[in-house]
Amino acid sequence: MAIICQLPFRDRTDVHLLTEAIEANVEGTAYGSEFFIRKAIGWALRQYARTDPDWVRAFVAAHESVLSGLSRREARKHIG
């Protein structure tokens, strides 16, 4: 819930909270293999990329090894 609760905030997104929520649910964590968690991570990053694509690119690059392919694809969907 903490991952997707920020979807409507755009430029008011709490990136610290978003980062913590994502990092607590990446591959290798208790819920990291759950489809809807991986989808929510990608969805939240994709939405925030509309406001700050550079931050999302940097976040995905820094977390490449622990983000699922689904999360990475969703995050980069509109930013390349």
Compute the distance between CA of residue 19 and CA of residue 11 in angstroms, rounded to an integer: 15
* Residues 45-59 pLDDT 10s: 999 999 999 999 999
pTM (global) more than 0.85 = yes
Residue 30 CB: number of other CB atoms within 10 A?
A: 9
The reported pLDDT for the residue numbered 6 is 85
Q: With a cut of 50, list the residues of the chain below it in pLDDT.
A: none
Q: Give the pLDDT of residue 2.
A: 83
Q: In order of start, what are the domains of the chain with their CATH numbers?
A: 33-80 (1.25.40.290)
State the Cα–Cα distance between residues 7 and 17, nearest whole angstrom: 12
76 CB burial (10 A radius; 0-12, 13-18, 19+):
middle
Q: Which pLDDT value is given to residue 80? A: 66
Are 38 and 71 within 8 A, CB to CB? yes
